[in-house]
Amino acid sequence: MKRIFPVFFFFVAVDLHAQPTHQLWLSNGKAIPVTVECSRNSSTLAIAREELQNGWQGKPGALVKLVIKKDKALKSDGFRLSENMIEASTDAGILYGVYDLLRRQRTGENLEGEVDNPSFSVRLLDHWDNLNGTVERGYAGNSIFWRKVDPFVITDADKKLWQEYARANASIGINGSVLNNVNASPQILTADYLARVKAIAEVLRPYGIKAYLSVNFASPIAIGGLKTADPLDPSVIVWWKNKIKEIYSIVPDLGGFVVKASSEGQPGPQQYGRSHTDGANMLADGLKPYGGIVMWRAFVYAANDNDRAKQAYSEFVPLDGKFRDNVIIQVKNGPVDFQPREPFSPLFGAMKKTPVMPEFQITQEYLGHSVYLVFLSTMWEECLRSDTYQQGAGSTVARCTDGSIYPQKYTAIAGVSNIGLDTNWCGYLFAQANWYAFGRLAWNDTLNSSKIADEWLKLTFYNDTSRNSEKKNNWTSSFLVPVRQMMLDSREVAVNFMMPLGLHHIMSANGHYGPGPWWAPKKMRADWTPPYYHQAGIDGIGFDRTTKGSDAVSQYHEPLASKFNNPAECPEEYLLWFHHLPWNYKMKNGRILWDALCYRFDGGVRQVREFQKIWDKALPFVDSVRFTEVQRKLAEQCANAILWKDACLLYFQQFSRMPIPYDIDRPVHNLDDMIRSDFTLHSN
Ligand code: GCW
């Protein structure tokens, strides 16, 4: 059979050089000569100097001074910039200032001479990288740190890759990397792996990045030969003390540990009748002499609870103030699990004496892997700006975690990395923007997504070719403006075609990609199945978390609790998160709920189709390699969006028993076929 290729492929740009996508947002233009002066030297300052010399786009022959001095206005690694001077009180601060100056030169942003201090002192990437080289929820190839074959050989290529990774992170202010999965193998604490950790840490160090490790709570049993991991058992305490001593003799500046304990089958203190406090404090005591911290995750939920969304709060709030001062509780943005949209976790507004840190997911586990174009910055911004009302109006999640409300010894933020061995690091060009955005928000939690998208687009696409070409004038109006808008809309679009109006956790169990509202095999834990969350029946749809239901609303401060509790006042984007409502419930615009749902799903699909057009119009401004990649991914996203719409509308229609509004395109898939193919795929 003759294959007919769609016509648009013939118009793919050939006039622009293929851009090395490996360079992320850091591809330099031709450097202009500059002289750099610095009274001190260190490996970090040498990098700062080199970056300026390789990337200077300012006045030719300028003299730039790097000045290290104490200054009350400069906090931790903050810096002060002027056209020819960067001041900071640490070497890392100078390096951040250099990257900022170069970014401003390349994006044409003015210098305001202001001080720029980081919002959080610890700005982390969490790698869910397994020691066999695979990456849990990774969509960009295998781990850059670990591999199955020759696991302990360290090559020059390894070191080069780690160095490029470190440079990219430093350029956006990230200063910590958790090198292994939170579902941690105890083996990470054995000599061979620690030797590799040392080698990685050495490459990261000059870039101001500390290595951290995820540890398995049962390590004393698994690799220490003990019979117990009870945190109050003297032999366990001694084992950890010695192990920590050994680790610090190998990596003297290790940042500390991340712990997933008593969660999703991971061992933890609760199996010995001990609390999170007992477990975290035992490790914190061991780390304290070395300046290390414990990031103890609050991602806990038992199978038998009536509402998974309530559990982290219920378990941790009674422990507020009982943790050592080098423990931070790591909390996912939403109360369930990195869903396309959740209200903020009420824990952010509840803990007053023990610090909490946000955990965001950069890898797109629930947001279309490395296939969908979803700029996550708007989602994180939404979370950071959510008002918890902890100390009255204005107590945003950002302020509750960055030390603005309560003085905190440590402030931190983590993003689950989307990085792998793929040539472009992230599996998709637009997924690089999420890595970039995470770093920028971790540095400054008040930045807005529009500015971040603007920066990233300029750094990624505005190169010498576009600068010199006659297309220059059009670049802003015909490329930057529409593509930036597409990025800013993209998360809401994904919510619309996947889980609108507060629906959540209705994805396929097959790798969490695509729809699966029906998925509920017999004997499966209820809270791992979509029907537990959508609760669809003849009477309506949605999870009742009001005071008459699970009462999750009461975990929020007033006025939020009352607002969420009342369907007429509850923001529509959270409606079915907090309410179970009849299919004919009247929405604010007068439509009934069923129709509103149909229009949301359909709207999402239409918007992806618009994205395809926007991108096709970007053809003159992008090299052929990147243009084609995005064009193909958008086509794939569109096909999947249609699947989502068809699956959800046909499945829920069995309960609503109402027609899909007639001005909406009819489904092109069969419900039975979709269900069958979902169940025949391997689940995880
Ligand atoms: O979202 C879930 C993921 C698991 C992950 C877990 C967690 C690392 O499906 O893969 O495990 O969250 O955050 O611990």
Give dist(CA 262, CA 508) in Å, integer.
25
**Residue 405 to residues 33, 330, 492, 512, 614: CA-CA distances in angstroms?**
46, 18, 30, 37, 43
Whether residue 571 contacts residue 470, with contact meaning beta carbons closer than 8 Å, is answered with: no
* Active site amino acids: 264, 337, 365
The closest-lying atom of ligand 1 relative to the alpha carbon of residue 137 is: 10
pLDDT bin (cut points 50, 70, 90) of residue 30 is: confident
Q: Which among 620, 615, 635, 614 has a CA at the least distance from the CA of 14? A: 620
Partner residues linked to 293 by β-bridges: 256
Ligand 1 within 6 A of 183 CB? Answer: yes
Is beta strand 34-38 parallel, antiparallel or unpaired with respect to 62-68?
parallel
pLDDT bin (cut points 50, 70, 90) of residue 29 is: confident
Q: Which among 482, 483, 506 has a CA at the least distance from the CA of 495? A: 506
Give dist(CA 366, CA 383) in Å, integer.
17
- Interaxial angle between packed helices 449-461 and 481-498, expressed in degrees from 0 to 180 and rounded to the nearest 10: 120
The closest-lying atom of ligand 1 relative to the alpha carbon of residue 266 is: 14
Please state, as a whole number, how many other Cβ atoms lie within 10 Å of the Cβ of residue 167.
Answer: 18
The closest-lying atom of ligand 1 relative to the alpha carbon of residue 332 is: 13
> Is the model's pLDDT at 14 over the cut of 50?
no
Ligand 1 within 6 A of 146 CB? Answer: no
pLDDT confidence of residue 326: 98
CA 206-210-214 angle, to 5 degrees, is 150
- The CA dihedral of 621, 625, 628, 630, to the nearest 10 degrees, is -80
> Is the model's pLDDT at 20 over the cut of 90?
no
Ligand 1 within 6 A of 182 CB? Answer: yes
The closest-lying atom of ligand 1 relative to the alpha carbon of residue 260 is: 14
Ligand 1 within 6 A of 299 CB? Answer: yes
Whether residue 153 contacts residue 444, with contact meaning beta carbons closer than 8 Å, is answered with: no
CA 273–ligand 1 middle distance (angstroms): 24
Q: Which among 448, 447, 443, 445 has a CA at the least distance from the CA of 75? A: 443
pLDDT confidence of residue 517: 98
> Is the model's pLDDT at 11 over the cut of 50?
no
> Is the model's pLDDT at 627 over the cut of 50?
yes
Find the DSSP H helices in 251-305. Answer: 276-287
Give dist(CA 106, CA 459) in Å, integer.
7
Give dist(CA 556, CA 242) in Å, integer.
42
**Residue 202 to residues 162, 178, 208, 608: CA-CA distances in angstroms?**
10, 14, 10, 44
Ligand 1 within 6 A of 505 CB? Answer: no
- 559: preceding bond cis by omega (within 30 degrees): yes
Helix/strand/coil for 576: helix
Please state, as a whole number, how many other Cβ atoms lie within 10 Å of the Cβ of residue 137.
Answer: 19
More confident residue, 15 or 604: 604
Give dist(CA 257, CA 182) in Å, integer.
10
pLDDT in tens, 91-136: 999 999 999 999 999 999 988 778 999 999 999 999 999 999 999 9
pLDDT in tens, 372-409: 999 999 999 999 999 999 999 999 999 999 999 988 99
Pocket residue to mutate for ligand 1, from 299, 345, 504, 513, most atoms within 8 A of Cβ: 299
> Is the model's pLDDT at 64 over the cut of 60?
yes
Lowest mean pLDDT among 37-41, 240-244, 667-671: 37-41
Give dist(CA 553, CA 509) in Å, integer.
28
Tell me the backbone φ, ψ of residue 115, rounded to 5 degrees: -80, 140
Give dist(CA 579, CA 565) in Å, integer.
8
> Is the model's pLDDT at 51 over the cut of 80?
yes
The amino acid that residue 552 corresponds to is A
Give dist(CA 454, CA 37) in Å, integer.
31
pLDDT confidence of residue 5: 39
Residue nearest to atom 1 of ligand 1 (CA): 337
Whether residue 167 contacts residue 26, with contact meaning beta carbons closer than 8 Å, is answered with: yes
> Is the model's pLDDT at 463 over the cut of 80?
no
pLDDT confidence of residue 468: 55
Q: Which among 364, 453, 345, 375 has a CA at the least distance from the CA of 417? A: 364
> Is the model's pLDDT at 540 over the cut of 90?
yes
> Is the model's pLDDT at 536 over the cut of 90?
yes
pLDDT in tens, 264-297: 999 999 999 999 999 999 999 999 999 999 999 9
Ligand 1 within 6 A of 337 CB? Answer: yes
CA 183–ligand 1 middle distance (angstroms): 8
Pocket residue to mutate for ligand 1, from 180, 264, 311, 362, most atoms within 8 A of Cβ: 264
pLDDT confidence of residue 470: 59
Ligand 1 within 6 A of 136 CB? Answer: yes
Residue nearest to atom 12 of ligand 1 (CA): 337
CA 420–ligand 1 middle distance (angstroms): 17
Across the range 539-544, mean pLDDT stands at 98
Pocket residue to mutate for ligand 1, from 311, 337, 512, most atoms within 8 A of Cβ: 337
Residue nearest to atom 3 of ligand 1 (CA): 137
Whether residue 632 contacts residue 640, with contact meaning beta carbons closer than 8 Å, is answered with: no
pLDDT confidence of residue 27: 83
CA 416–ligand 1 middle distance (angstroms): 10
pLDDT confidence of residue 386: 98
Instruction: Quote the radius of gyration of the chain (alpha carbons, Å).
Output: 25
Please state, as a whole number, how many other Cβ atoms lie within 10 Å of the Cβ of residue 61.
Answer: 10
Q: Which among 503, 553, 71, 21 has a CA at the least distance from the CA of 313? A: 553
Q: Which residues contact 601 (CB under 8 A, 6 or more apart)?
A: 496, 497, 500, 644, 645, 648, 649
pLDDT confidence of residue 375: 99
pLDDT in tens, 415-441: 999 999 999 999 999 999 999 999 999
Whether residue 627 contacts residue 619, with contact meaning beta carbons closer than 8 Å, is answered with: yes
CA 558-564-570 angle, to 5 degrees, is 130
pLDDT bin (cut points 50, 70, 90) of residue 15 is: very low
pLDDT bin (cut points 50, 70, 90) of residue 585 is: very high
Computed over every residue of the chain, the mean pLDDT equals 94
* Dihedral sign computed on CA atoms, order 239, 242, 245, 250: negative
pTM above 0.75, yes or no: yes
> Is the model's pLDDT at 539 over the cut of 60?
yes
Residue nearest to atom 2 of ligand 1 (CA): 337
> Is the model's pLDDT at 664 over the cut of 70?
yes
